[in-house]
Amino acid sequence: METKNNKNITTCPYAKKCGGCQYQGIDYAAQLKKKQKEMNKLLKDFGKPEPIIGMKDPLHYRNKVHAVFGRTRKGEIVSGTYEAGTHKIVNIDECMIEDEISQSIIRTIRGLLRSFKIRTYDEDTGYGLLRHVLVRRGFATGQVMAVLVLSSPILPSKNNFVKALRKEHPEITTVVLNVNDKKTSMVLGERDIVLYGKGYIEDILCGCTFRISPQSFYQVNPVQTERLYQTAMDYAELTGKERVIDAYCGIGTIGMVAAKKVREVIGVELNRNAVKDARINAKLNQIKNIAFYEGDAGRFMVSMAEEGEKADVVFMDPPRSGSDEAFLSSVIRLAPKRIVYVSCGPDTLARDLKYLARNGYQVRKMQPVDMFGFTEHCEMVVQLVKKR
Ligand code: SAH
């Protein structure tokens, strides 16, 4: 990794407009140092974080590419990202952190629109069809899913469109039409219509195979995710006898990786599609000692605590907004020997650790993992143990 003026690596032509990468222009080693310093400072009350686990290759690490589609005033079709703080689209041809194959699929789609007379959606007027394209690629399996987010369930000459797309990109294994007909800044609508293939892709993490639907959360950096989960497993100190909770479990990844080493896993997740995937994933991997519940993790934990249930280890991996008091106070009542907190929001992590530290838990180890090179974001794994 070189410094500022090295064109190959750290100069991104969209850096100022896109706003996605806050650490553009900083060499990778310096980025890691910055994150380490930041984590040390933020978490100083709980001890000293371990040295950050950086990426071997910090470029093109994202397995998911999202592009918003629109037109310029002159009528040119553009696809990319919103200019930071606005609704003006920055046309992006190449991004240095996103998967290259997925990006080329998006460029192909942009090129096909005119001949298929597919209009891009206009946010102001509500006219037009194509709003977003989302491409996800399983790095381990090579399976590729293209999701076309349309304002209507009808894509004229859809079969020919899919054919044309697949001709350029035979690597695409499934194409899904997602219907988003609301005036919203959310990318995906609720309805998925499979145009080609299975309607999902699979990927492999830590020896388990996972089905990923368009709507399900899946970590964007699978290489570092394996290292993250490995750390989480180490911190859980599993012996084979434990009853384990995987809270905010998504498609069940952490729980399934843990399942082989424990007696029983209970997963809880809010997103219905993710829970569906999780249940199928358990079958796919022939894991029988795992059960998934759909619902708010806080409420689920409250009801477990009220029923006098216990757990030996709790994994928790909440969204950036962190956990809530219902959840945390119930964890304390469930009295696990160890809590493994996986966090993508260090501020809310610090807040939640404070609560747990005041209520009988001690932070023992903290491991930063860089999942998001060139951005300011940092992932953390924390081990908490119950005080005697
Ligand atoms: N552990 C998973 C997912 C982590 S992302 C993985 O590593 O892949 C956080 C997950 O929390 C998302 O799947 C999101 O849908 C879910 N979530 C958000 N709010 C929730 C809540 N209140 N209760 C349960 N799950 C929630």
344 is catalytic: yes
Statement: residue 37 has pLDDT above 90: yes
CATH of 28-57+221-386, one of 2.40.420.20, 3.40.50.150, 3.40.50.20, 3.30.590.20: 3.40.50.150
- 231 touches ligand 1 (CB under 6 Å): no
64-201 has CATH 3.40.50.620 classification? no
Question: Closest ligand 1 atom, CA of 268?
Answer: 24
- 270 touches ligand 1 (CB under 6 Å): yes
Statement: residue 251 has pLDDT above 60: yes
- Would you list which residues are annotated within the binding site? 219, 248, 269, 317
- 296 touches ligand 1 (CB under 6 Å): yes
Q: How far is the CA of 320 from the centre of ligand 1 (A)?
A: 10
- What is the value of pTM for the model shown? 0.93
- 297 touches ligand 1 (CB under 6 Å): yes
Mean model confidence pLDDT for the chain: 95
- Give the per-residue SS3 of the chain: CCCCCCHHHHCCCCHHHHCCCCCCCCCHHHHHHHHHHHHHHHCHHHCCCCCCECCCCCCCCECEEEEEEEECCCCCEEEEEECCCCCCEEECCCCCCECHHHHHHHHHHHHHCCCCCCCECCCCCCCCCEEEEEEEECCCCCCEEEEEEECCCCCCCHHHHHHHHHHHCCCEEEEEEEECCCCCCCCCCCEEEEEECCCCEEEEECCEEEEECCCCCCCCCHHHHHHHHHHHHHHHCCCCCCEEEEECCCCCHHHHHHHCCCCEEEEEECCHHHHHHHHHHHHHCCCCCEEEEECCHHHHHHHHHHCCCCCCEEEECCCCCCCCHHHHHHHHHHCCCEEEEEECCHHHHHHHHHHHHHCCEEEEEEEEECCCCCCCCCEEEEEEEECC
Hey, do 28-57+221-386 and 64-201 end up sharing a CATH topology, with the first three levels equal?
Answer: no
Statement: residue 2 has pLDDT above 90: no
Q: How far is the CA of 250 from the centre of ligand 1 (A)?
A: 5
Mutate to test the pocket of ligand 1, among 212, 248, 251, 343 (most ligand atoms within 8 A of CB): 248
Mutate to test the pocket of ligand 1, among 186, 217, 343 (most ligand atoms within 8 A of CB): 217
Question: Closest ligand 1 atom, CA of 216?
Answer: 13
Structural domain boundaries of the chain? 28-57+221-386, 64-201
Statement: residue 217 has pLDDT above 80: yes
Annotated catalytic residue within 206, 249, 344, 378: 344
What are the pLDDT digits (tens) for 67-110?
A: 999 999 899 999 999 988 888 999 999 999 999 999 999 999 99
